[in-house]
Amino acid sequence: MYNQPKLSVVGAGPGDPELITIKAVRALESANVVLYDALINRELLEYAPQAEHIFVGKRKDRHRYSQDEINELIVKYALERGHVVRLKGGDPFIFGRGSEEINYARKHRLETEVVSGITSSIAVPANVGIPLTQRGTSESFWVITGTTSSKKLSEDVKLAAQSTATVAILMGMGKLEEIVEVFKSFGKKDIPVGIIQNGTTVNERSGFGTIDTIVDVVSDKKLTSPAIIVIGEVVKEANALQEVFQNVQNIPQQSKLINAGAA
């Protein structure tokens, strides 16, 4: 049934289909068309069985549609069909270009709505036990895109590397070696690093090390995009590392000494 032309830019969350808001579900239930991205969980489309589902995803070096084409599709389908939901991974206003789509729709006199999503920059580290802030350890955090629109490493990485804040880098796997060199240049080679691939999904994988070792860890574990890079002392709180520490503590003292001597 035709409705008033409307665009809802909706955050789908970090990957786990249960990490979506009630408001987002309601938007999907009322949609006539859903334009969805590559990183959203396809299970979420089940909330919009009456809508047409159109994939407009962009991945590294593989764009089905340009941003201009997506903007045009939004207006086209809204005028023809009514309510368009633009379903985007994480939160649409954090490196999601959601504001660009909202502004374009407003210029074409569409009703607009933004439904915030749970951002992967917070939820993915939390899912493996990493708090971005922790009393006595980290008083703040940076969320930085690893690759700018000009395909270069963000200059903000250099600024973040000079702080004591936790640094969460999205879209940075292709720049990992450059990121490592930046932190080393500021004497941070021993800072802990965690990398989480496909966070909060059944395909989640992770690796942990330091600035000095993380490139080798990524190579050994064959970690790839999409992944989040977390740099800072709080990485030591990761569940996997806590299990290692616990296992070490449970080793009898004599065994510890033997193992230490063997090392």
Q: In what order do the strands lie in the sheet with 83-88?
A: 52-55, 33-36, 83-88, 6-11, 111-115
Report phi then psi at 223, rounded to 5.
-80, 140
From the candidates 171, 173, 175, 188, which is the catalytic residue? 171
Please check whether residue 195 is in contact with residue 170, taking contact to mean a CB–CB distance below 8 angstroms.
no
Told to judge if 37 belongs to the known catalytic residues of this protein, a careful annotator would answer yes
3-state secondary structure of 29: helix
- Determine which helix (DSSP H) or strand (DSSP E) holds 145, and give its type and residue range: strand 141-145
Which one of the listed residues 23, 58, 184, 221 is annotated catalytic?
A: 58
- Of 6, 16, 37, 188, the active-site residue reads 37
Q: What is the DSSP string of 196-229?
A: EESTTSTT-EEEEEETTTHHHHHHHHT--SSEEE
> Cα(196)–Cα(188) distance, rounded to whole angstroms?
21
- What are the residue numbers of the active site? 37, 58, 171
